[in-house]
Amino acid sequence: MKKFNLTLVLAFVAAAALVASTNAQDAQKKELPKFKQDAVSLWLSPSNQIHNIGFGEYRSEKERMNEVADVVEPILKKQGVKVYRNDPNESIKDYTRRANELNVDLYFAIHSNAANKKARGNEVWIHRRGGEAERFAKRVNEAIMSIYDGPDRGIKEGYNRFGDRPLWETSDSHMPACLVEIAFHDEEKDATWIMENIKPIGEVLAQAVLEHLSAEHPDALEK
């Protein structure tokens, strides 16, 4: 009887895994919004933190987050979004200055987190709650949590992130902006998850951006 029950349990687990995999594949096949060419624009800002080294083979935050951005960028461009991408050799003050000069519609910074080598979770930062920035952040957070099995640390305000200083990229940008911290690269499980899921992470983030722009700029959609 015990053997029979174990067989049933294993069969149930396998079936559940198949359903989850199918749902993930269906989500990835979802038709993406298409925009009139360059009718909407985005500043894409993967981390430039070359000295922020993760667990094991993770290497630097800069390297890994630029790999994620390498997935995001062509998807957005294919759907008609004008993408401006940061220069990793410049500073974050250069990024916000240039984004403001270009007057882009959306600012999106992509980072991974670090703490005490034990913390896990995804979180998204905005300057203050309310308005389009928070709506964008919620979409980004939901996108990551749809494929990530760690804690949901939610949406956080960055206006006092460093006590007397705000989180720069969300405070100095003149357009709606958010900064995602994709899990903790100094924790083994999270670092491994990021390394093994660069493509899915980039795909769900691109989808979140496109769905947000579609909701906020419906007149820019291709008929």
Residue 10 located in a structural domain: yes
- Give the tens place of pLDDT for each residue, 106-122: 999 999 999 999 999 99
Residue 198 lies in a domain: yes
Q: Are residues 46 and 11 in the same domain?
A: no
| Phi-psi group of 221: left, alpha or beta (phi > 0 → left; psi -120 to 50 → alpha; rest → beta) | beta
In a domain, 83, yes or no: yes
The verdict on residue 210 lying in a domain is yes
Domains contained in the chain, number: 2
Q: Residue 196: which CATH number?
A: 3.40.630.40
115 and 207 part of one domain: yes
Same domain, 15 and 84: no
Measuring CA to CA, how many Å separate 99 from each of 48, 77, 147?
16, 17, 30
- Residue 10 is part of which domain span? 1-28
Same structural domain, 6 and 77: no
> Do 116 and 178 lie in a common domain?
yes
User: Is the same domain home to 162 and 200?
Assistant: yes
Residue type (1 letter), 48: N
Q: Which of 161, 147, 121 lies closest to 200 in space, CA to CA?
A: 147
Q: Are residues 10 and 101 in the same domain?
A: no
| Domain-located, residue 190 | yes
Residues 4, 87 share a domain = no
Alpha helix (H) residue ranges in 81-124: 92-102
Domain co-membership, 185 together with 139: yes
Examine the domain organization and report whether 10 and 49 are in the same domain: no
Does residue 33 form part of some domain?
no
The residues, any chain, with a CB within 8 Å of residue 80's CB and separated by 6 or more, are 34, 35, 36, 37, 38, 39, 40, 222
Looking at the domain assignment, is residue 194 inside a domain? yes
* pLDDT(193) > 60: yes
Shared domain check, 20 and 128:
no
- Contact in structure between 46 and 68 (CB atoms under 8 Å): yes
pLDDT band at 14 (very low <50, low <70, confident <90, very high): very low
Domain membership of residue 17 (yes or no) is yes
Q: What is the pTM of this model?
A: 0.86
> What are the CA-CA distances from residue 190 to residues 6, 8, 136, 210 (Å)?
30, 31, 24, 26
pLDDT per position as a tens digit, 26-79: 444 679 999 999 999 999 999 999 999 999 999 999 999 999 999 999 999 999
Of residues 14 and 188, more confidently modeled: 188
In 3-state terms the chain splits into helix, strand, coil percentages (rounded to 5) of 50, 20, 30
Name which residue leads in pLDDT, 187 or 17. Answer: 187
Do 92 and 192 reside in the same domain of the chain? yes
